[in-house]
């Protein structure tokens, strides 16, 4: 982890600026206790605080390599207290060494710091405690921030994995149904079987083209649905009818890719397949500033024997919308006396 003071030059400037009040505090203590005059106190205070400020930069690495989770609290306190004594001793030695050099040049101009050892040791320990607490705070702030970023990345990856899993369940579901239908038609109506196979290849080509995408326009999705319905019309003929009520302003809006496919499959499976009379699948597309509203409805024969299913398609649509938008109020359906209605709300923003 990079040193927090070296992330930007301004942080280093601020760090040294914050030592100015400590410098003047030292000057006030020296002058008010008659240890020396103001000019000498200014120089001595500057030297002491500047040296500790420079040493204090290195204390970041002490906190960086001491992990509170790997030892007990008492061990941490003892370790830091020991290191505080070492750092304080180093600070005093460096300051006295520099003062000794200066005293050889200006023998009467600098105070005798030997009389202040006890106070300097206490000040050194206090400075050490303040800096290490500051660095610990910075360290855990950045770790918390990084953990949050990593959690968000993991959430996105899991979300994408779930969506891909749901999409992979939907596509084979339709493919198996279509292949079964073609298989039956090869015996009863080879011409229609051939036509259905061509249309199926067009549909699969679109699905493969979209497999790495998460969204497509309403226009693209409806074109794909028309390919699907054309495949089914080969099998059901005039028994399958369609009607569209579409606001063209909505066609450019984005929706999750292949989200409509299982809903039309459901309408065919439980409406057209079971009925002995024509079934109309109606698609309505409206929008406002907040939502795109998609309604898919079909009539059905209430007296027909209902085909049992696992409801995978409907569940997948509901789950995909919930995962995609983080809401559980975007999908609903209603079974009336002779109509089945599905409503989707797609947030525009």
DSSP for 75-124, please give it: HHHHHHHHHHHHHHHHHHHHHHHHHHHHHHH-TTTS--GGGGHHHHHHHH
Number of domains in the chain: 2
Judged by average pLDDT, the poorest of 44-58, 122-136, 167-181 is 167-181
Q: Specify whether 96 is located in the same domain as 14.
A: yes
Helix-helix angle 218-236:190-210, to 10 degrees: 160
Q: Is 311 left (phi over 0), alpha (psi -120 to 50) or beta?
A: left
| pLDDT beyond 70 at 169 | no
Report pLDDT for 117. Answer: 73
Last residue of a domain, one of 101, 127, 151: 151
Token pair, residue 12, equals 């280093």
Beta-carbon neighbour count of residue 44 at 10 Å? 23
Cβ-contact 214, 255 below 8 angstroms: no
| pLDDT beyond 90 at 157 | no
Report pLDDT for 316. Answer: 81
Q: Specify whether 202 is located in the same domain as 144.
A: no
Q: Is residue 249 part of a domain?
A: yes
- Domain assignment of residue 74, given as a range: 4-151
Q: Specify whether 116 is located in the same domain as 222.
A: no
Distance CA 282, CA 58 (A): 72
Q: Between 298 and 43, whose confidence is greater?
A: 298
Q: Is residue 121 part of a domain?
A: yes
Report pLDDT for 285. Answer: 95
How much is the average pLDDT of 157-177? 61
Q: Specify whether 266 is located in the same domain as 315.
A: yes
Token pair, residue 151, equals 């959690």
Report pLDDT for 11. Answer: 82
Q: Specify whether 338 is located in the same domain as 227.
A: yes
Q: Specify whether 116 is located in the same domain as 255.
A: no
Pairing, β 254-256 against β 240-246: unpaired
Task: State the DSSP string of 177-209.
Answer: HHHHHHHHHHHH-HHHHHHHHHHHHHHHHHHHH
Distance CA 26, CA 76 (A): 30
The two most distant CA atoms of the chain are separated, in Å, by 118
Report pLDDT for 255. Answer: 92
Q: Is residue 178 part of a domain?
A: no
How much is the average pLDDT of 158-184? 66
Q: Is residue 163 part of a domain?
A: no
| pLDDT beyond 60 at 51 | yes
Last residue of a domain, one of 151, 171, 203: 151
| pLDDT beyond 60 at 61 | yes
Q: Is residue 101 part of a domain?
A: yes
Nearest to 206 by CA among 264, 280, 257, 164: 257
Q: Specify whether 92 is located in the same domain as 219.
A: no
Q: Specify whether 25 is located in the same domain as 102.
A: yes
How much is the average pLDDT of 243-268? 90
215-254 pLDDT per residue, tens: 889 999 999 899 889 888 877 888 999 999 999 999 999 9
Q: Is residue 95 part of a domain?
A: yes
Percent of the chain predicted with pLDDT > 90: 20
Q: Specify whether 322 is located in the same domain as 258.
A: yes
273-300 pLDDT per residue, tens: 878 889 999 999 999 989 999 999 999 8
Q: Between 312 and 341, whose confidence is greater?
A: 341
Q: Is residue 171 part of a domain?
A: no
Q: Specify whether 207 is located in the same domain as 117.
A: no
Report pLDDT for 74. Answer: 77
Last residue of a domain, one of 101, 122, 151: 151
The reported pTM is 0.52
| pLDDT beyond 80 at 116 | no
Q: Between 17 and 67, whose confidence is greater?
A: 17
Token pair, residue 182, equals 């073609």
Task: State the DSSP string of 220-244.
Answer: HHHHHHHHHHHHHHHHHGGGEEEEE
Q: Specify whether 84 is located in the same domain as 226.
A: no
Q: Is residue 199 part of a domain?
A: yes
Confidence category of residue 174, pLDDT binned at 50, 70, 90: low
CATH number of residue 322's parent domain: 3.30.565.10
Q: Specify whether 252 is located in the same domain as 136.
A: no
Distance CA 213, CA 120 (A): 67
Average pLDDT of the residues of the chain: 81
| pLDDT beyond 60 at 109 | no
Sign of CA dihedral 141, 143, 144, 149: positive
């Amino acid at each position: 982890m990079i040193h927090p003071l070296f992330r930007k030059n301004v942080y280093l400037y601020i760090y040294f600026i914050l030592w100015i009040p400590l410098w003047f505090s030292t000057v006030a203590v020296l002058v008010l206790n008659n240890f020396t005059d103001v000019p000498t106190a200014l120089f001595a205070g500057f030297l002491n605080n500047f040296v500790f400020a420079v040493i204090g930069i290195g204390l970041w690495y002490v906190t960086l390599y001491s992990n509170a989770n790997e030892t007990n609290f008492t061990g941490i306190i003892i370790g830091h207290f020991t290191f505080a004594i070492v750092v304080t001793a180093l600070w005093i030695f460096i300051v006295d060494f520099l003062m000794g050099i200066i005293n050889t040049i200006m023998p009467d101009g600098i105070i005798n710091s030997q009389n202040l050892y006890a106070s300097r040791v206490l000040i050194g320990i206090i400075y050490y405690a303040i800096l290490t607490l500051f660095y610990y705070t910075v360290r855990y702030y950045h770790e918390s921030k990084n953990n949050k970023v990593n959690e968000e990345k993991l959430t996105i990856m899991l979300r994408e994995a779930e969506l891909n899993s749901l999409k992979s369940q939907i596509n084979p579901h339709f493919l198996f149904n279509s292949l079964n239908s073609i298989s039956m038609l090869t015996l009863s109506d080879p011409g229609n079987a051939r036509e259905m196979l061509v249309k199926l290849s067009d549909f699969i080509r679109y699905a493969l083209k979209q497999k790495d995408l998460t969204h497509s326009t309403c226009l693209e999705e409806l074109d794909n649905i028309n390919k699907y319905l054309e495949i089914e019309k080969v099998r059901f003929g005039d028994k399958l009818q369609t009607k569209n009520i579409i606001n063209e302003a909505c066609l450019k809006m984005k929706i999750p890719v292949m989200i409509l496919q299982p809903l039309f499959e459901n309408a065919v499976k439980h409406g057209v397949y079971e009925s002995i009379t024509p079934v109309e699948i109606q698609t309505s597309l409206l929008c406002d500033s907040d939502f795109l509203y998609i309604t898919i409805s079909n009539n059905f024969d209430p007296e027909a024997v209902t085909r049992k299913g696992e409801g995978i398609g409907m569940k997948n649509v509901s789950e995909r919308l919930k995962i995609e938008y983080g809401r559980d109020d975007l999908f609903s359906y209603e079974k009336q006396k002779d109509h089945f209605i599905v409503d989707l709300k797609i947030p525009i923003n």
